[in-house]
Every structure is written in C-alpha cells, then in structure tokens.
Amino acid sequence: MSLDMLRFLGNYNSKINQKMNEYIKKLSEEEWNTQFSGYFNSIQAISNHIYTCDYNWLKRFSLLRKFHFIENTNIQEGLSFKINNIDSVADYMNKRDWLDNKIIEFIEELNEEDLKKDLLYQDSSGIEYVRNFGLLVLHMFNHETHHRGVISHLLEELKIDNDFSNIYDII
C-alpha cells in the first residue's frame, strides 16, 4: 500500500462519485425509492449505506491519531445503520460531496508511517478489531466501488443507460 495509490483512489473516488451522481440527481423521488430485490432494495437505501459506511470509516480512522480533517466538522459520533441518514436525492448530493471532500482531506494528511500501523476499532455491532490501517483505507474505497456497481445495475433496471466504471475516464 502506498500513499500515491491512496491519493489516486481518493481522487478517483470523488470524481467517479460525481459522475455517478449525475445520473442519481436526475432521478424522480419514485425512481430514487423504487424497490428492487436484494439486501439494499433501492438506490436510496444503497446510497444511504455507502454514505453511512464512509462517514463511519472516517470517524474510525480518526482514532489512529489527531487529523485536521475532522476538526470543525460534525463527525463526532458514528452514524446509525438503523436510520435513514439522507432525506432526499438533493440531501444525498450535498452530503456526498461534503464527505468526498473530507475523504480527500484525510488522504492528504496521511503519511507512510500511518499506513504501517494497526488500528484498534469497533464495528457498528461493537465487535473489536485490530487491522492494518493502510488496508482499512483501501477497504473503504473497495467497498464503495462494489456498491457503485450495484447502483449501476439498479439504474439499468430503471432503463437508465449509465457508465461510470472506467478508471481511464477519470485519470
């Protein structure tokens, strides 16, 4: 794991989310809430999941050491998975943009030593883990990539052609 790779992924993540969100922001409330099969059964539900996870990962990452990205923000407590943390498409757009900027700020603060350390943290169920910090950051990006693929599929189910999967479109 290298800082250059994580910086690349941070910028890629932000730009590809912007590209994906060009499709999402055109959804009607009905499309946003259309029920599909699967664990996250709407674009709203999966968007809420991604946002909540990324927010909670940033909170966990701040346990490693003092980071400036978290100062003057409302990232004080983790978000609950039991509630809806986004109210509408417009709310998601604002919160996602803000969070992607925080992720980039966080990545810019990392150093090589951080990536080698282990992080002691609890998941949303209170289970404690000790994991390599650099790989946890990579996990956050991989998790988002996975769920963007699901959103792409759900958009196709709504008959909305989309393509925000090509890493070469972003770099």
Give the chain's length: 171
Residue-wise pLDDT for 52-64, tens only, equals 999 999 999 999 9
pTM above 0.85, yes or no: yes
Domain boundaries, the chain: 3-169
- 164 compared with 48, residue with greater pLDDT: 48
| Dist CA 78 CA 111 (whole Å) | 24
Mapped onto helix, strand or coil, the DSSP state of residue 122 is strand
Phi, psi for residue 39 in degrees, rounded to 5:
-65, -50
Fold of 3-169: Four Helix Bundle (Hemerythrin (Met), subunit A) (1.20.120)
Phi, psi for residue 121 in degrees, rounded to 5:
-150, 170
User: 131, 119 in Cβ contact below 8 A?
Assistant: yes
User: 36, 75 in Cβ contact below 8 A?
Assistant: no
By CB atoms closer than 10 A (0-12, 13-18, 19+), residue 144 is buried
* Residues contacting residue 159 through CB under 8 Å, at least 6 positions apart: none
pLDDT at 43: 96
pLDDT at 72: 66
